[in-house]
Amino acid sequence: MVDLLIVGGGIMGLWAAVMADRAGLNTVLVERDRIGAGASGGVLGALMPYMPDRWDAKKQFQFDALVSLEREIACLEAQTGMSTGYRRSGRLMPLPKPHLRTIALRHEQDALVNWRQGDRRFFWHVQDSPAADGWPENEAMASGVVLDTLAARVDPRLLLALLTTALGQSPRVRIEEGQSLVGLDPATGKARFSDGHSVSFGACILAAGVDTFLHLDGLQDKPAHEVQRRCRQGTGSGAESRYRPSFARHLHGWALCGAA
C-alpha cells in the first residue's frame, strides 16, 4: 500500500509528487503513456499572471505561485544540475486604442497595491516608447505599450525533465510509465491499471488532465463523505492536515481537489 497514488505524469502530477516527497509520503505516480504526453509537453511555457485588478483569493493564490516558482525552480536546478530556461522575462502588451490605455493606467495603480510580497514588487508599467527601435510597430502601440514585470517563461519539456530527475533521486517516489488507470474505488482505496495490476492507496490525486473527468464521472455514485473519509485515512504519516482533500460540487457529481 502506498500513501499516495498520483494518476498522470503532466505538470500537475509531477509537482504534486515533489510536494508529497517533501512531506515524506511514499508515492507512486502512474502515467498512461510517457511523462509529458499530455498538454504539459508543449513548447510555449508562458507563465502569465491574471490582471492586477478586482483582486481576490484566486488571484492571490496564482500571484504567490508565480513568485515562489522562481525560487522553487532555482532549488531544483541546483539539486539536479539541469536548466529549465526559466526567466522572469516580463511581458509586452501593445495598446492600439485610447480606451485600452485608460484601462491600463488603472491596472498600473492596481499592480502597485496587489503585486507585492515582502520587499518584492512587480509592475504594470504603461510606457510610450517601444521596447526596441520599430518594435512593437507604431500602429500596434498607437496608445502606448504595457510592460508587465511579473510574467515569466520556462521551457515546458525541460521543466518536466527536471522534475522527473529530481523525483528519480527520491527513495520515496516511484514513477511507472505505460500504465493506464482503468478503475478507481475510493471506498476500498484500490486502483486498477491496464496491465491488470492494482495499487492500494491511502490517498489519490487524479492529475490525468482532461481525462480526469472520465474518472470523476465513474465516482459520482460514491457518497462524497465516504470518498472523503477514505482519503483522510491511511496516509499514516501525519500529513493529513496539510494534504486534506476538499470537495467541490460539480455539475455531474463530485470533484476531488487534492491539496498538494
Q: Using CB under 6 A as the criterion, which residues of the chain lie in contact with ligand FAD when the complex forms?
A: 7-13, 30-33, 37-40, 42, 44-46, 180-181, 207-209, 211
Counts of helices then strands in the chain (DSSP H, E): 7, 15
By beta-carbon proximity to ligand FAD, the closer residue of 40 and 235 is: 40
Taking the complex as a whole, the smallest distance from the CB of residue 217 to ligand FAD amounts, in Å, to: 13
Say if residue 136 is preceded by a cis peptide, omega within 30 of 0.
yes
Taking the complex as a whole, the smallest distance from the CB of residue 224 to ligand FAD amounts, in Å, to: 22
Give per-residue burial for 124-137: e unless 16+ CB within 10 Å, then b: bebeeebeeeeebe
Taking CA 168 as the corner, what is the angle to CA 165 and CA 172, rounded to the nearest 5 degrees?
145
Taking the complex as a whole, the smallest distance from the CB of residue 170 to ligand FAD amounts, in Å, to: 19
Structure letter (DSSP) for residue 40: G
Taking the complex as a whole, the smallest distance from the CB of residue 89 to ligand FAD amounts, in Å, to: 12
By beta-carbon proximity to ligand FAD, the closer residue of 77 and 211 is: 211
Taking the complex as a whole, the smallest distance from the CB of residue 64 to ligand FAD amounts, in Å, to: 15
Residue 167's region, left for phi above 0, alpha for psi from -120 to 50, else beta, is: alpha
Amino acid letter, residue 155: D
By beta-carbon proximity to ligand FAD, the closer residue of 50 and 254 is: 50
Residue closest to 260 by CA, chosen among 92, 94, 12: 12
CA distance 260 to 258: 6
By beta-carbon proximity to ligand FAD, the closer residue of 98 and 178 is: 178
Q: How far is CA 143 from CA 46, 111, 128, in A?
A: 25, 20, 7
Taking the complex as a whole, the smallest distance from the CB of residue 181 to ligand FAD amounts, in Å, to: 4
